[in-house]
Structure 1
Amino acid sequence: MKKHKVTYYYDALCGWCYGFSPVIEKIYHKYKDMIDFEVVSGGLFLGDRVGAINDIAPYIKAGAYKTVEERTGTKFGEKFINESLEHNTMVLNSLPPAIALCVVKENYPEKEMAFAAMLHKAIYVDGVNPDDIANFSNYAQKLDINLDDFNTKIRDPKYVKIAKEEFATVASDGVRGYPATLLKNGEDRILLSNGYVDFEVLDHKLNQLI
C-alpha cells in the first residue's frame, strides 16, 4: 500500500470524463509507482434518468459533445455521432458499465484504469449501447481479461450490489460533478480537480502535494 491514493470519480457515460480520459491516463502512468489509483463510478444515468440519449440528454446532440471536443481535443467517433446520436438508438444507463468496471476492479485490478478508458471508447467512439452489459465483453478481451470469467462475473448479482454501493459512496463523498479527482493521505482528503482540467494543471497540483 502506497502512502498516497488518488480517487477518480467518473462515469462511463460522462462526456467530460471521456474528454478527461487522456489526462488521467497520463497522470496514472506518470505516478502509478508512487501513488495508488482507484476509479469510482458515480451513477450519472440511473432510475428515471435511464432512456434514449436524445430524450434524456438532448443537450448532447444540441452541441455539448462539440464543446467537449473544442475544450479537450478529444474527438467523438463517427458511429456515435452518425448512428447512436443521430438516430437516437443509444440508451443511457450507467449501471451496466459500472458493473463491468467493478468486475475488473476486483479481479483484474492492474487493468482498472485501462478498462475505464476502454468503456469510454466503446460508447463514445464505437457507439456501443451501454444498456447491454454483454457489449463490453470484447473490450475486456482486448485487455487480455479472461472472456469466460468476465462473462460469468458480469451476471453475478454481487457486482450489481458493489456498483450500487459505489454510487452511494460518491454521493456520501459529496461529489457534485464529473470528472473529479481526490488525493487521500491518511485522514487528509484534498480535492485535486472538479470538472475538466488539463494535464499540466493536475500534474502541477499533484506534484506539489506528494
Structure 2
Amino acid sequence: MKFIYVYDPLCGWCYGFTPVVMQLQQQSNGSMEFEILSGGMMTGSNRPPFSSMAAYIQKAHVNVEEMTGVKFGAPFLEKLLPSEEMMDSEKPSVALTVFKYYQPENAISFAHSMQVALNYDGKSLNNDDTYRKLIRPYNIPEDEFISRMHDEHYRYETQQEFQLIQNWGITGFPAAILDTGGQLYLCARGFTPLDQLQQTIDNILKENNNLK
C-alpha cells in the first residue's frame, strides 16, 4: 500500500500540509510506502513575479498559519514577496527528482526543507546555492547534486511527473492519493488535519476489505 503526496514547492497550503504527511509517515512505522510527486503549479508561461501575487499571499498566509500552525518568516513576507523574483516550480521540482535518486525515503523531509527555505527564510529556489545548503544534512555530494539538477534526464523525469498529475485530473494542491495496489483513491484535497486524513485512510481500507 502506498500513500502518494501530490504537492508543489511554491504552494503555501502544501507548506502547511507537509508536516501532517511527515507525522503520518512516522506513525505508519513502515506499514505503508510513501511517495511525493511534484504538481508543476507554476511552469511555462505561468511564471509570474512574486510581486504580482503579493497582495493575495499577504492575506492568504494568515489563513494558512491559523489552520496549519506553520509560520511564514519576515524575509519571505518583506523581501522575497515584494520582489521581481520569478515564481517557478520547475527547478525545485527537479531538485526533488534528483534527491529521490539518492534518498527516496527522505524525500518528504527534503521537500519540507525547501518549503521552509522559501516561506520562512525567504531563500530563492531559483538559485543553485540554496540547494547546496539544503542537502548538507543528508550528506549528498554537493557538486554532483547540482550537476544532476542541470541534467536534461532529470528535467524530463520531472516533466513526466507533471504530466502524470495532469492525467490524474489533479489541478489543486496539496492532494493525496492512496494506492491500495488495485485502485487509486483520492484521500485528501487541500489541507487536511492528521486525524481526518487517518480516518479517511481507515475508511478506504475498511471498504476495500469488505469488497474482498
TM-score (norm 2): 0.91
The list of structure 1 runs, each at least 4 consecutive aligned residues, that deviate by more than 3 angstroms after superposition, is 207-210
Q: 1:44-90: per-residue Cα shift (whole Å, max 9, x none)?
A: 111222131122564113x01111111112111121112112x3243
1:163 paired with 2:158, answer yes
The residue number in structure 2 matching 1:131 is 126
Amino acid at match of 1:156: D
Match of 1:23, SS state, is helix
Percent sequence identity over aligned pairs = 31
In the aligned structure 2, how far is the partner of 1:191 from the partner of 1:134? 36
Amino acid at match of 2:78: N
Give the 5 Å matches for 1:130-209.
Answer: 130-209=125-204
Shift of 1:208: 4.0
Give unpaired runs (5+ residues) of structure 1. Answer: none
1:80 paired with 2:92, answer no
Of the three residues 30, 33, 48, the one matched with 2:45 is: 48
Is the Cα contact below 8 Å between 2:128 and 2:146 reproduced in 1?
Answer: no
Is the Cα contact below 8 Å between 1:54 and 1:60 reproduced in 2?
Answer: no
Aligned in 2, Cα 1:58/1:49: closer, same or farther, shift over 3 Å? farther
Match of 1:90, SS state, is coil
Amino acid at match of 2:3: V
In the aligned structure 1, how far is the partner of 2:2 from the partner of 2:54? 33
In the aligned structure 2, how far is the partner of 1:147 from the partner of 1:177? 33
Is the Cα contact below 8 Å between 1:84 and 1:127 reproduced in 2?
Answer: yes
Aligned in 2, Cα 1:132/1:65: closer, same or farther, shift over 3 Å? same
Of the three residues 100, 105, 109, the one matched with 1:110 is: 105
In the aligned structure 1, how far is the partner of 2:122 from the partner of 2:97? 22
In the aligned structure 2, how far is the partner of 1:27 from the partner of 1:206? 11
Q: 1:87-121: per-residue Cα shift (whole Å, max 9, x none)?
A: 32432100000000000112221221111111101
Aligned in 2, Cα 1:134/1:167: closer, same or farther, shift over 3 Å? farther
TM-score (norm 1): 0.91
1:64 paired with 2:60, answer yes
Is the Cα contact below 8 Å between 2:102 and 2:140 reproduced in 1?
Answer: no
Is the Cα contact below 8 Å between 1:96 and 1:133 reproduced in 2?
Answer: no
Is the Cα contact below 8 Å between 2:13 and 2:64 reproduced in 1?
Answer: yes
Count of residues in correspondence between the two structures: 205
Is the Cα contact below 8 Å between 2:8 and 2:40 reproduced in 1?
Answer: yes
In the aligned structure 2, how far is the partner of 1:57 from the partner of 1:180? 24
In the aligned structure 2, how far is the partner of 1:29 from the partner of 1:171? 29
